[in-house]
Amino acid sequence: MTSPHKRSRLPAPVVVFFFSLTLLTTGCSRAPSFNILGSFFPSWILCGIIGIVLAVVVRLIFVRIKLEERLSPLILVYPCLAGFFTFTLWLLLFR
């Protein structure tokens, strides 16, 4: 006969899975932020602003060397360029 107080055990793969999930949360110890005039701003906002400014600078260079005429569609080129600069800065500064 089985005892009514017998403890059921979880299979080992389930335990390993949930343990590995807890290890993934260890990287969330602090949020990368900047103290600007007493307020904390997430660093991704700063990277985004710098990425947009760099995309504008590259656009001015493209217009000056007359490369913008050959780019199409511009509505995709410049947001992708801003995203490229933003994500590159994020990886370089806050990896």
| pLDDT, tens only, 6-23 | 666 767 787 778 777 777
How far is the C-alpha of 82 from the C-alpha of 93, rounded, in Å?
Answer: 16
Query: CA neighbours within 13 Å on the CB side: how many for 82?
Result: 16
Q: What residue spans define the domains of the chain? A: 43-95
pLDDT of residue 21: 75
pLDDT of residue 26: 63
Residue type, 5: H
pLDDT of residue 64: 96
pLDDT of residue 80: 96
DSSP string, 16-43: HHHHHHHHHGGGGSS--EEEETTEEEEH
| pLDDT, tens only, 51-90 | 999 999 999 999 999 999 999 999 999 999 999 999 999 8
pTM of the model as a whole: 0.62
